[in-house]
A = this chain, B = another copy of it.
Amino acid sequence: MFVLGIDPGLSRCGYGCLEHGRKPRAVAAGVIRTDPKLDRPIRLAELQRELRDLIAELKPDVVAVERVLFQTNVSTAMGVGMASGLAMAEAASVGCDVVEYSPNEIKHAVAGWGGAGKDEVGAMVQTLLGLPKRLSPADAADAVAVALCHLARVPSRRTSASMKRVGGMVG
């Protein structure tokens, strides 16, 4: 099973794809950027095309998206919401399951508490995936954290079987 995590944004949209197994394996991680100097419709069209290509290439079973909250980053929240909407529409239109997780749920699942900072999340992503160094930029690590949150949350048959075998999904 492949899970694609998305940390939505219009200037920087993080993505991280994990393959589920005894230990989750990072398949791809990175950031889609659009140029803030361009008009918003052009940037949205570019992001849409990049997301579509990414989903076509990675063929995830599940796309997990960080939920956009109104309370934070009011000035950028609308662009983030639009990016999130594009990701969900592209994923659902090709038959992926789509789930949303709040920032707190993601931080809790990955770092053990909902108030974890970006630095803690980055360190835990590195540890959980057994990477030689931290994922960079932070948006890519954040997107991987969304995918890890999904793997930790979903009691799928395959997950349950793995957990019986190895005593835990990621370690």
**A residues adjacent to B (C-beta < 8 A):** 39-42, 44-45, 47-49, 68, 70, 74, 77-78, 81-86, 88-93, 98, 100
Contacts and interface: CB of A to CB of B under 8 A. Distances in A.
B98 A41 contact: yes
Contacts of A82: 81-82, 84-85, 88
A44 B89 CA distance: 5
Contact of A85 (B39, B44, B49, B100): B44
A85 B100 CA distance: 18
A70 B45 CA distance: 22
A91 B47 CA distance: 13
Closest CB pairs A-B (n = 8): A82-B85, A41-B98, A45-B92, A41-B92, A44-B89, A41-B88, A45-B93, A48-B89
